[in-house]
Amino acid sequence: MLTVKNLSKSYGGQVLFADVSFNINPGEKVGLVGRNGYGKTTLLRLVQGEELPDSGEITIPNGYRLGYLEQHLAFSQPTLLAEACLGLPKERKDEEWRVEKILMGLGFRREDFNRAPGEFSGGFQIRLNLAKVLAGDVDLLLLDEPTNYLDLPSLRWLTGLLKNWQHELILITHDRGFMDQVITHTLGIHRQRIRKVPGDSSKYYEQLVKEEEIYEKTRLNEEKKRRAAEVFINRFRYKATLSSRVQSRIKALEKKGRMEKLAPVEELEFSFSSAPMPGKVLLAAGGLDFSYHGKEPLLISDFKLSIKKDDKIAVIGKNGKGKSTLMKLLAGELTPLGGEIRKHPLLQTGYYCQTNVSELDPEKTILEEILSVNPACTEQQARNISGLLMFEGDAALKKISVLSGGERSRVLLGKILVTPVNLLLLDEPTNHLDMESADALLAALDAFDGAVVMVTHNEMFLQTLANRLIVFDRGGVFLYEGDYRGFLADIGWKDEEQDGGGPEAAGKNRRPARDTHDRRSLRRERANTVQEKSAVLRPLAAEIERIETAISRLEEESARNLEFLAEASLKGDGEEIAAGAKRRAELDTELETLYDRLAKVTAEYEKKSAEYEARLNNLLPAD
């Protein structure tokens, strides 16, 4: 276990926490929360021994092993597998199979094992560091934003492993859904204090709000008593018969002290600026083909997509399979080898991609960059957005040249926030935000009056926001017409089928079930059926929508026609009455035709839908 006693730490004049104490007991998995700049990463460094406290002590038992996710990328071994095996404890150096399992869970392929660590991207090198610390079988695992460079299948695998983790854990992450699935307690830094609460982050914040409400009520009550005492003292100070009582009350006030009013904590609230869009379809892509340098095989092949103004589309799948490439195609930064992308004339796109940081002017300040994209934006609005993106106060006056890569990515997001758009293309927008900022972003996207296409591995975003999915899996890309829960139930991830289970299986030594092959076959057939169902029902749904739109238009005209006939009758204008009656008959005929057509197409849709549901139910694996 870990014991922290009377710990204090400050930088310059900023106190992070003062005289705090807590324990991490055996088996506790703790989520560390708090606003950016409150000292979460600093606390991990203090536990690790990389920094020293101003006062207080951290006690770690002899032989108690810590494992910390290193962000430093330095490797000594010639191959990926050999480097990852450095994480194994001395007594388990022969368990190379366990390291292989961890590497594959984190998204590496078996053919990667003999490649040099330096050949991989920075994101995959961070995954290698994560594999090393997970292989260590440590007593206390310290993870600071471990999900930033993971794709969705790897995140689900890590979630399962941490759920089954038998030792202690301190976890920092902006992904509230991920945190709440794996922790047993929440440790919060707030107002320079640290408190530990059993349960997930929601329980912590509920208790925090309740405690501050009680404090404020108590403070107001004490102030009322203080004012009454001061009135008594001032009134009877010079009355000899009451002098003892006056002195008693003076001493009581001095002894009790004053409860200070809590400084307000600024709420994180912002919204995207939406541009008007009268059309229904913002962008339509047909038959898209793409590969880099025109090489085979194609990264994207014969892909079709129509984006409507109320769509919230999530792009999911493994890294390196084409998610960011598709976003660049939709944004117009890449040209497809085949097919076309048609855009509405009034389309206004906001495109966020971390690799576009080179577009920022290194000589400008953060504030100047945000103000540069919208002349209507005031300096105060730009400062508010800067603060939301964790550039508070004078930090907004920093030049781009002194910012880290993650900080520059946040500036790009800030520029989109002040630009009126009707389509947001966002490639992993949460990676460099804290939890509160990520929550505010989710609320802003949910309220945005426009379409969103977003690459994300954040399952809370997927479950809350997405109504359609673009999925990179099974060697290709396909559109799933439904939400994320429906996707997991209907299709799921190919790798999880092969592993014999989803995230709950990670970290367990499972024997393959006898029916694994049958289940895999069923899920493949089910996935194919879901795609077939979507292909059959989509044109029928589109026709129903077209007919309903036409009916609505004719019904409106029919109402106007009745008004016209009534006015013509009052005027006694025979020509207008005749013309109106003629159009009335045409409208009745056209509407009757459309009503008949709507009934037939709706019946066909319901029939096909029922047939496919029956087929899908027959393809459910037996428990």
Q: What is the pLDDT of residues 369-424, one digit of tens each?
A: 999 988 888 888 888 888 877 788 888 999 999 887 778 888 888 898 888 999 99
Phi, psi of 404 (to 5 degrees): -75, 170
Residue 143 has, within 13 A of its CA and on its CB side, a CA count of 31
Q: In 3D, which of 87, 93, 86 has the Cα closest to residue 133?
A: 87
Q: What pLDDT is attached to residue 127?
A: 93
Q: What is the pLDDT of residues 581-600, one digit of tens each?
A: 898 899 889 988 888 888 88
10 Å CB burial of residue 527 (0-12, 13-18, 19+) is buried
Domains of the chain: 2-204 (3.40.50.300), 281-490 (3.40.50.300), 519-618 (1.10.287.1490)
Q: What is the token pair recorded at 278?
A: 């009268």
Residue with tokens 């006693």: 5
Does the pTM of the predicted model rise above 0.85?
Answer: no
Helix then strand then coil, in percent of the chain rounded to 5, is 50, 20, 30
Q: What is the pLDDT of residues 189-248, one digit of tens each?
A: 999 999 999 999 989 988 988 888 888 888 888 778 777 777 777 776 666 666 677 677
Q: Residue 66 in contact with residue 143, Cβ under 8 Å? A: no
Q: What pLDDT is attached to residue 8?
A: 95
Examine the pLDDT at 549 and tell me if it is beyond 60. yes
Per-residue confidence at 349, pLDDT binned at 50, 70, 90?
very high
Q: In 3D, which of 127, 148, 109 has the Cα closest to residue 456?
A: 148
Q: Which residues pair with 170 in a beta bridge?
A: 30, 142
Q: What is the pLDDT of residues 87-128, one digit of tens each?
A: 998 888 888 999 999 999 999 999 999 999 999 888 899 999
User: What is the C-alpha to C-alpha distance for residues 15 and 405, in angstroms, rounded to an integer?
Assistant: 27
Residue 18 DSSP SS3: strand
Q: Residue 149 in contact with residue 119, Cβ under 8 Å? A: no
